Chain A
């Protein structure tokens, strides 16, 4: 397994370098003056020239690329024009909010998706199956931002049960950070009021973010379970008198988990991308909102930084999924 892990890590490193190169390409191949991109739309010609020299944009492309890679490796993602702070630092500030949101959404998706997918397969075509099928089809089609707005309208405005936006009400002070995840930190520090507030704020955005993921997991798990339940070794297990609970919950589910895992990995990526939408709707102070506001003000470096970070997170998830695959399926371990 160790050799397998190392191989995967090497692949990931290679892809990361390729991604960095791609972002470099996008910045430079895009029409328009890169110096002006960095300087912003309001810069004067003098400012643009200063920027050009300062950022080495007058040097040949190859040299620029070398500088760019060197900067990246030392963690330098440039500076935001608007705030003039280093991008890496700002990402560090906003990242925990996104991570917390994504973790909660992912948990929702998995904890609801897998059991209901199994139930749907076992009780195929009965009531529970019909409901999950409707959910799983509409879940992927539902525009996240529209869903978010509707939920806000209904639960926050009309019913007043939940807050409209933000991560914590202005009156609450966040707990001293340990993990930087509000839910965890407030629990660890025993501040239950804060925990309640944080929870009520995270519910709506987490539901919106998790919906497509939940839908996909439901769908794939159900389909895989149905197919696995028809396979020969399940027939054999039944013929040998093994209890249906064990057959469904262990023999079948273990085999069905493989494609489900793959979908979880894929959907995680989609989720990371959708944070730009959900964080916008709910004013959630994460890297998605950061990227969007930067893009809208033509502040390019933060956008690149966020894209690289999202790419990195996605790659780690995929590598973990690959490892989990090999752990579950012994046939893959030779790779």
Chain B
């Protein structure tokens, strides 16, 4: 088990004026080297808090109430701020959602990118022999930016959204990092640009053999890049496994509902099929399974008992009392009973 990143029974609480938000509940995830994991979920399901905690930049007021996150075997809780600084950007790197607000508006791209490169150099990680400027140009070329000189001399507001996102990706790859976390990288972009960026990410993953954790509420975006997928709802992971399997054969009613509510371009026109109800209030989440108030398959046990992790063949794991198909016994490697 050579997991690069492991999230073990991880729970997080955030105290607020209105009460304590139980924002993450016993998250179990594993990312191996070379993997691409996509985390899907609606806004507010906790995915952003989760990945930020992975980098130690979660909300300051958050309190871990159970479990731990380990990177290369070491629990990150115990890292000092100095040790974190050595890791950030070089070993674990992050791409953010809105490239406009994540770039300093007052500094040129050359300055910002250069600073990142210099920071890595000083910590001894960057093996490239190029001077900073040349390295910056090299990184920008890697993300397929055409007019490198112009971009380097520009300020963020002078570039288009897609260009800015490429710059952010270049900054994140400066390490080069062992783990790349992408926080909704396409959400703030136009649809056509989204496609370009996703293609770029896919390309980079193949070429550089990156390990990527990507989060989004857009199932399509996740599917384009990720080999494995985890579905989150209201602070819990309800299903995870191989992307193609999960999307073709969802085991959890929420995943099924999510996929069913997506509009289809092909086929006859029909009304949208949303999941009834609203996301629960995390200060007082539903007892037992957090999805049970909205679940068409919910029974009495769902409201009382937290659902167990059920393995459905391959490595598809579902947290449900009544998965949609193939209940295998707890032992691993059992056959699927049905499709």
Contacts and interface: CB of A to CB of B under 8 A. Distances in A.
B101 A240 contact: no
Contacts of A138: none
Given A240-B171, A241-B86, A329-B105, A232 B98 contact: yes
A21 interface: no
B157 A331 contact: yes
Contacts of A329: 105-106
Interface string A18-32: 000000000000000
B119 A242 contact: yes
A240 B177 CA distance: 10
A61 interface: no
A83 interface: no
Interface residues of A, number: 21
- Which 7 residue pairs of A and B lie closest in terms of their CB atoms, listed nearest first? A241-B89, A240-B89, A232-B101, A236-B102, A241-B88, A233-B104, A239-B94
Interface string A236-261: 11111111101000010011000000
Q: Which of A240, A242, A255 has the most CB of B within 10 A?
A: A240
B90 interface: yes
A140 interface: no
A233 B86 contact: no
B103 interface: yes
B120 interface: yes
Given A241-B116, A241-B123, A233 B102 contact: yes
Given A238-B88, A239-B88, A255 B57 contact: no
Contacts of A237: 104, 115
Contact of B101 (A231, A244, A246, A328): A231
Contacts of B122: 243
Interface string B110-132: 00000110011011000000000
Contacts of A241: 85-90, 116, 119-120, 123
A244 B119 CA distance: 11
A175 to B, nearest CB: 43
A14 to B, nearest CB: 30
Q: Which of A232, A244, A254, A331 has the most CB of B within 10 A?
A: A232
Contact of B115 (A246, A255, A328, A331): A246
B174 A239 contact: no
A163 to B, nearest CB: 45
A231 B106 CA distance: 13
Interface in A224-240: 231-233, 235-240
Given A238-B57, A241-B90, A330-B155, A233 B85 contact: no
B106 A330 contact: yes
Given A240-B116, A241-B116, A251-B104, 17 more contacts: A232-B98, A232-B101, A233-B103, A235-B96, A235-B102, A236-B103, A239-B55, A240-B89, A240-B172, A240-B174, A241-B120, A242-B115, A242-B119, A243-B85, A254-B107, A329-B105, A330-B157
Contact of B89 (A239, A244, A330): A239
A251 B107 CA distance: 8
Contact of A255 (B89, B102, B106): B106
30 contacts: A231-B101, A232-B98, A232-B102, A233-B102, A233-B104, A235-B57, A235-B96, A235-B102, A236-B96, A236-B102, A236-B103, A236-B171, A237-B115, A238-B57, A238-B88, A239-B88, A239-B93, A239-B94, A239-B96, A240-B171, A241-B120, A242-B115, A242-B116, A242-B119, A243-B122, A328-B106, A329-B106, A330-B155, A331-B105, A331-B157
A244 B172 CA distance: 18
Given A240-B172, A331-B157, A254 B119 contact: no
Contacts of A242: 89, 115-116, 119
A236 B113 CA distance: 12
Contact of A240 (B86, B88, B105, B106): B88
A232 B116 CA distance: 16
Contacts of B96: 232, 235-236, 239
A241 B87 CA distance: 7
Interface string A65-82: 000000000000000000
A240 B93 contact: yes
B57 A239 contact: yes
